Structure 1
Amino acid sequence: MWLEGLVDGVRRGSTDEWDIVSGVGITALAVASGRAIESTRPDPLIVDPYAAWFLAEAQPPVPMPDSADDPEVTGSPQGGWAAASRYIAVRSRAFDDYLQDAARSGIGQVVILASGLDTRAHRLDWPQGTTVFEIDQPAVLDFKLRVLRDRGARRACVHRPVPADLREDWAAALREAGFDRTRPTAWLAEGLLPYLPADAEERLFAEIHRLSAPGSRLAVEQVQEVEGAVAATARASRHADLRIGISQLVHADPRPPADHRLSAMGWQAESVSPVDTAARYGRDLTTDSSPGRHIRHAFAHLPAPGAQRL
């Protein structure tokens, strides 16, 4: 959820048209900025050569760095953009590893929910025949695909953008795009759940479960401590001189942890702290002004009926 909610005028449940330089659109640019910063570090966890393209094309009204050498990054090493990019790097790498491991295991169908300016379809090395579906609102996908196409980006997968709103019948749109519910799927919900009320989150998980064949996998980013994550985001935003109305965007209504919810539905699930993941990658999130300490990453696998639980 890092840096989502930059503009004070955005509110939960807004149905405003998506605009890349205002409203919820600018939050996707902030995440792209984090990936661009990480990509220029001497030892990057991820390399996203396309992230800076979105910033250049959009020309956001709030300054957003695209390099680790930018004064906005170097001037506040423990907060603001520096801390943001560190968490975004860990999150992105963890979910990159998850998706690539799923693809190498033989799962040839990937669905990225609320994909925003995600570029995994273009920047990851996919096994031949992998199909990547990206679900998001039409204007989001139109902007992203136009920038990538105009600048000659290539991809190593079958790429199926699915213009749909997750508040509507996105499953029908996914099927129309060629999704096959009889095949195992690798699902990704990154930077999504905090913006859903509890009942909408429950419906989302139910629909994913309904569409998942045995052998499917699911990765989820979930805020465990909403108040702590909001406070960390607010502190970092003051360093970066950003306008964040994050508390008006996220939902703090009680809900079970994602791994508990999935376990109750028959998935084998575990929850991992990004702090621990960062340590495995040789990074430290413990001192940052970052929400990473208040977030969990859940990873789940749907076994065949009657399979022995691990």
Structure 2
Amino acid sequence: MTSTRDDADTWDLASSVGATATMAATARAIATRADPRLVDDPFAEPLVRAVGIDLLTRLATGEVPPDGLVEQVAIDVAKIRARFYDEFFLDATHAGITQAVILAAGLDSRAYRLPWPSGTVVYELDQPQVIAFKTRALAELGAAPTAERRVAAVDLRDDWPAALRTAGFDPAQPTAWSAEGLLGYLPPEAQDRLLDTITELSAPESRVATESRPNPEPGDEDSTKEALNRISARWRAHSFDSDLARLRYFGPRNEAAPYLTDRGWVLTAVSIRDLLVATGLAPLTDDDLRMGDVLYVAGTLGSHRPRPGVSPSGAVRRG
């Protein structure tokens, strides 16, 4: 999967940034086996097997233990991340929101595994080959969606709002949006466009969930790249050719939480460090990847949208 990102790159679930979705599903498979009280994703393992990356398949099935290849903190973060977004969608739909949008859906199986209220429509957006693969793989498993699932097979760099509308999306209705594990794989200006577009397509009382990473201090990104390179080297030794540092976009960018707040979203936030402790998992100690201060944010769009750069009274609340 080694590659350098560019504005026209493409991928499937075994290459480039697409393989990160398979890595995330691998972590969910391991986490499901270890702690189903926090994450129960019965489709993670068979979807990883269907992708066919040998090392990830053996990790997902338990044939190879994660020790030395997948750090425990990565498995624990998979647990809290899955639970955070599961609870976000269920809270939103139980509050009466009837349409959900999963951006860069990858191997996300929530349309098949969550107990959605009757009448919920779940829209999944991703590259056409990714959407086609997952749809086919889950059909071969005999899986059926637990909500009305609609897909928009489109690259987020293209006119994805048009594709979403074509699939039946109604911007006049409140929506629950997720941008899970996505923003770091977008250039800074593309991140801003995505968050602006979400806001433009959102009726009042819509909800959003994503991660907000603080801008780096001097030297932070060098240590992050070194840590990613160490992980990649370990995996290459097992014939999985990864180059994780090349898949991310580094450098300063607008932090997602205040950016969304400036556009009228009232958010709550909790750091990965605090969420690990609150969930009873091991506290974060070694943090070369700068995960601890990443915030999981979720919130609601008010009826009055301030001008960009003018903060509303409801700033981000730590929860």
TM-score by length of 1: 0.88
Residue in structure 2 matching 1:211, options 195, 201, 206:
201
- The corresponding residue for 1:72 is 65
Q: How many residues align?
A: 299
Letter in 2 for 1:233: L
Residue in structure 1 matching 2:265, options 267, 270, 275:
267
- The corresponding residue for 1:297 is 296
- The corresponding residue for 1:37 is 30
SS class of match (2:168): coil
SS class of match (1:40): helix
Residue in structure 2 matching 1:186, options 176, 195, 204:
176
- The corresponding residue for 2:254 is 256
Aligned residue runs from structure 1 range 171-182, under 5 A: 171-182=161-172
Q: CA deviation at 1:246?
A: 2.6
Q: Taking structure 1 as reference, are residues 12 and 305 closer, same or farther at Cα in structure 2, changes over 3 Å only?
A: same
SS class of match (2:151): strand
d(CA) in 1 for partners of 2:143, 2:210: 27
Deviation by residue 1:209-236 (Cα, 9 ceiling, x = unmatched): 1100000111112333472544443444
d(CA) in 2 for partners of 1:18, 1:306: 36
8 A contact 2:270–2:296 mirrored in 1: yes
Letter in 1 for 2:94: R
- The corresponding residue for 1:282 is 280
| Segment of structure 1 superposing worse, 243-252 or 168-177 | 243-252
Q: Taking structure 1 as reference, are residues 238 and 222 closer, same or farther at Cα in structure 2, changes over 3 Å only?
A: farther
Q: CA deviation at 1:247?
A: 2.5
- The corresponding residue for 1:233 is 228
Q: CA deviation at 1:271?
A: 3.0
Asked if 1:96 corresponds to 2:94, the answer is no
8 A contact 1:38–1:44 mirrored in 2: no
Aligned residue runs from structure 1 range 114-133, under 5 A: 114-133=104-123
- The corresponding residue for 1:18 is 11
Q: CA deviation at 1:29?
A: 1.3
8 A contact 1:236–1:290 mirrored in 2: no
d(CA) in 2 for partners of 1:14, 1:301: 31
| Segment of structure 1 superposing worse, 276-285 or 157-166 | 276-285
Aligned residue runs from structure 1 range 153-172, under 5 A: 153-172=143-162
8 A contact 2:267–2:299 mirrored in 1: yes
Deviation by residue 1:62-97 (Cα, 9 ceiling, x = unmatched): 444115x55431x33xx6253322211211111111
- The corresponding residue for 1:4 is none
Residue in structure 1 matching 2:76, options 83, 86, 99:
86
Letter in 1 for 2:52: Q
Q: Taking structure 1 as reference, are residues 212 and 306 closer, same or farther at Cα in structure 2, changes over 3 Å only?
A: closer
| Segment of structure 1 superposing worse, 201-210 or 224-233 | 224-233
Letter in 2 for 1:293: G
d(CA) in 1 for partners of 2:213, 2:305: 32
SS class of match (1:256): coil
SS class of match (2:101): strand
d(CA) in 2 for partners of 1:218, 1:277: 19
Letter in 1 for 2:45: A
Q: Taking structure 1 as reference, are residues 243 and 130 closer, same or farther at Cα in structure 2, changes over 3 Å only?
A: same
| Segment of structure 1 superposing worse, 30-39 or 283-292 | 283-292
Q: Taking structure 1 as reference, are residues 17 and 309 closer, same or farther at Cα in structure 2, changes over 3 Å only?
A: closer
d(CA) in 2 for partners of 1:306, 1:238: 47
Letter in 2 for 1:273: S
Instruction: Note the residue ranges of structure 2 that are not aligned, 5 or more in a row.
Output: 307-311, 315-319
